[in-house]
Structure 1
Amino acid sequence: MKKSKLLTALLLSGLASAAMAQSSVTLYGIIDLSLSRENNSSGVATRMESGVLNGSRFGFKGSEDLGGGLSARFQLEGGINADDGSSAQGGRLFGRTAWVGLEGGFGQVRLGRQYTPIYLSLLTVDPFGGALKGDMASRNWFNNGGARIDNTVAYYSPTVSGFSGSALYGFGEVPGSTSASRTVGLSAGYNKGPAVVALAYNRRDNSASTDNERAALLGGSYDFGVVRVHAAYDDVRGSNSLALVPVHITDQMLGVSAPVGPGRFMASYLRKKDKVNADTDAHQWAIGYVYDLSKRTALYASYANATNQKNSRINTRYNVNFTDNGGTPGTSDRVYDIGIRHSF
């Protein structure tokens, strides 16, 4: 009997140790393609675009249970231009994100290439969720120091009664200076019941450590049942870290989203005001609809119309300015698209 109990104890102990050491790795991805038609001063262009609803990508993510409530986690994710098969993010293999870290009751600590807190905060209040042509988190609107930063260490707090926060530090890696090219980001948020509130800050120092660009964001949304109302405001000032010229820009957003049939409808109005350069303001309104065919496949359509003052050249296409496709400052830009997204 004693031997039997001993063998049972040893077996259970072995199983527990094996379970503790268990790890998992998941391969996942998204293929997103649309047909779009754009009309501006350059004429009318019909094109195929990748990643309009969700960026086309492939990735690996996993975790290992280290015991005592502690686990190791990682994620490697590369962007794909599905229209031609090339790599996105400048050809990086894992340009979307690449990090490794630890998670426990204290929250998460991650090291690598990561999203900035201010960008993640934008996604929580954007009625388009950072997607379609109404995206407020693109290069053209609410441009708060970039979406991703290299060489970072970040902390994500656990959520307590709806409250959470994060902090990020990006090493500039410039010899002889700890501040040159560095990035500092902070965020605090509340997400519980019908209310979402986001507050975030981002500071990016230039390569000479002589000036910086600072951005502050306040946004939120409230679900009234039949419709959710969204609003956001940011203030960006200092010196552009690339051109080293004075910057003071504000962006405003007012939008709505609502479940309609098997999908969701969204609309927004965006306004940009440049307080340094004359006649460079712009505004845009956009609508979109996503129709879920299943949990993994969706059809979508969106339309956006951007209007510029005479010295402004904002384009409705994600991450593209008029200068990239020959558009003339001071003119309007209109685009609509229809597409399909499949995830695996």
Structure 2
Amino acid sequence: MKKKSCMAATAALLAGSACAQTSLTLFGVIDSGIEMVNNAPDANGNPSRRIHHNSGNLWGSRWGLEGSEDLGGGLRAVYHLESGFDSDTGASGQGGRLFGRRAYIGLGGKSGSVTVGRHYNVLFDLLYPFDPTGMASYSTLTHDPAFAERADNSIKYNGKFGDVTVTGLYSFGYDSTIKDGGEMAGAPGVGRELGGGLRYAPGALEIGLVFDQRHGTSYASRSQVEKRLAAGLSYNAGPLTTYLGYRWLESDVEDISGASNLYWGGLRYQATPAISLAGMTAYTDTKGSAADPLTFALLGTYDLSKRSSLYLLASYARNRGGSNMGVNGVDNQLVPGNNQTGMIAGILHQF
């Protein structure tokens, strides 16, 4: 899905290095579809059906550059620049950032890599393989979007040792769009994020365990903490893969205060080399409250080629005890007190 070029002439002119010493990859994804949801608010706040074009339903639309340079002795310099965009408007994603998905540079070797910049958090790195839909728009992200968030101003370590992958991250201020949201003089705890975990994949069985902690993004809230501990398990038996997952959350950070347990499970079936089917359910148990939403999701994909696919994604969100979760999560796209059904038909191309 990625096209590599050695850039021999450029390397020779600018660095005098051999072709094998430097690599550059241009890559990208365009994902676009039509979504229909019910019980969305109309202009008067009444439940209505909404049909619209939507970008990034299975994978976020993006383009990027990544590369490395051989420094000798098994050491290499590495970099990654990844820019998200909306395929329906052409606008930059992630709040208009040029390289809002990822932007980092570092060093790699036999003992792993250390990079600095903007990264995915460790929740995404280690739990992505345990979501049957691959963390599509309708997935575990519906219950907890922190599973696919990023950290600015961060240092990350990633190492693979046989069947074990180890990842750790520390951020001096995970969201630089917040005024004084991190890296504040005299207050190193403001906007701090740290996390770590491992994934063990000896064969058909795969297990992941991860911890992530974030602090409040103001001087007044610097001692407030948002903690997550999560685990995932998958087992592959030929064309069928089974998934189970759990996430514990405890937080006294404003707007995310409280505690909950999230449980999910599902199956993925490779019916033919071109057709795959996936189904999952996720349930949030909110501590001290009856507001416990339940969601179901189904995904079918048909590969037109190695790079192009058609897909159909559907979900049902059931709200109980005053919960207010739509198929796309807790947002303004659901009239409170209702359940919601959503469906997306789309096409995805990788280059």
User: With structure 1 as the length reference, what TM-score do the two structures score?
Assistant: 0.88
Tell me if structure 2 keeps the 8 A contact 1:37–1:46: yes
Rg bigger for which structure? Answer: 1
Tell me if structure 1 keeps the 8 A contact 2:65–2:82: yes
What is the percent sequence identity of the aligned residues? 32
> Is residue 258 of structure 2 the alignment partner of residue 247 of structure 1?
yes
Matches within 5 A, 1:63-142: 63-133=68-138, 135-136=139-140, 138=141, 140-142=142-144
Distance 1:294 1:145, change over 3 A: closer
Tell me if structure 2 keeps the 8 A contact 1:101–1:110: yes
Aligned mates of 1:36, 1:197 — CA distance in 2: 33
Tell me if structure 2 keeps the 8 A contact 1:33–1:82: yes
* CA deviation after TM superposition for structure 1 residue 94, in Å: 0.5
Aligned mates of 1:47, 1:214 — CA distance in 2: 35
1:45-96 CA distance string (max 9 Å, x none): 1111101011101111111111111111101111111111111111111100
Matches within 5 A, 1:1-344: 18-19=17-18, 22-40=21-39, 42-133=47-138, 135-136=139-140, 138=141, 140-144=142-146, 147-160=149-162, 162-172=163-173, 173-206=183-216, 207=218, 208-240=221-253, 242-243=254-255, 246-261=257-272, 262-276=274-288, 278-317=289-328, 321-322=330-331, 324-325=332-333, 327-344=334-351
Q: Counterpart of 1:10?
A: none
Aligned mates of 2:257, 2:22 — CA distance in 1: 50
Aligned mates of 1:159, 1:92 — CA distance in 2: 34
Between 20-29 and 121-130, report the one with greater CA deviation: 20-29
* CA deviation after TM superposition for structure 1 residue 311, in Å: 2.1
Distance 1:34 1:209, change over 3 A: same
Aligned mates of 2:102, 2:269 — CA distance in 1: 30
Aligned mates of 1:157, 1:66 — CA distance in 2: 19
Tell me if structure 2 keeps the 8 A contact 1:36–1:335: yes
Aligned mates of 1:145, 1:281 — CA distance in 2: 19
Between 107-116 and 143-152, report the one with greater CA deviation: 143-152
Q: Look up the SS of the partner of 1:130 in the other structure.
A: coil
Distance 1:145 1:335, change over 3 A: closer
Aligned mates of 1:228, 1:49 — CA distance in 2: 29
Tell me if structure 2 keeps the 8 A contact 1:132–1:288: no
Tell me if structure 2 keeps the 8 A contact 1:20–1:67: no
Aligned mates of 1:119, 1:34 — CA distance in 2: 24
* CA deviation after TM superposition for structure 1 residue 224, in Å: 2.0
Q: Look up the SS of the partner of 2:17 in the other structure.
A: helix
Amino acid at match of 2:75: L
Aligned mates of 1:82, 1:316 — CA distance in 2: 21
Aligned mates of 2:202, 2:145 — CA distance in 1: 27
Aligned mates of 1:146, 1:183 — CA distance in 2: 14
* CA deviation after TM superposition for structure 1 residue 110, in Å: 0.6
Tell me if structure 2 keeps the 8 A contact 1:111–1:151: yes
Aligned length: 317
Aligned mates of 1:298, 1:145 — CA distance in 2: 25
Amino acid at match of 1:197: I
Aligned mates of 2:335, 2:19 — CA distance in 1: 61
Task: Tell me how large the CA RMSD over aligned residues is.
Answer: 1.7
Aligned mates of 2:31, 2:242 — CA distance in 1: 27
1:153-181 CA distance string (max 9 Å, x none): 01011232x11111100003122122221
Q: Counterpart of 1:7?
A: none
Q: Look up the SS of the partner of 1:166 in the other structure.
A: strand
Amino acid at match of 2:342: V
Aligned mates of 2:20, 2:202 — CA distance in 1: 34
Tell me if structure 1 keeps the 8 A contact 2:32–2:346: yes
Aligned mates of 2:284, 2:126 — CA distance in 1: 19
Distance 1:191 1:145, change over 3 A: closer
Tell me if structure 2 keeps the 8 A contact 1:77–1:95: yes
Distance 1:294 1:146, change over 3 A: closer
Aligned mates of 2:257, 2:161 — CA distance in 1: 38
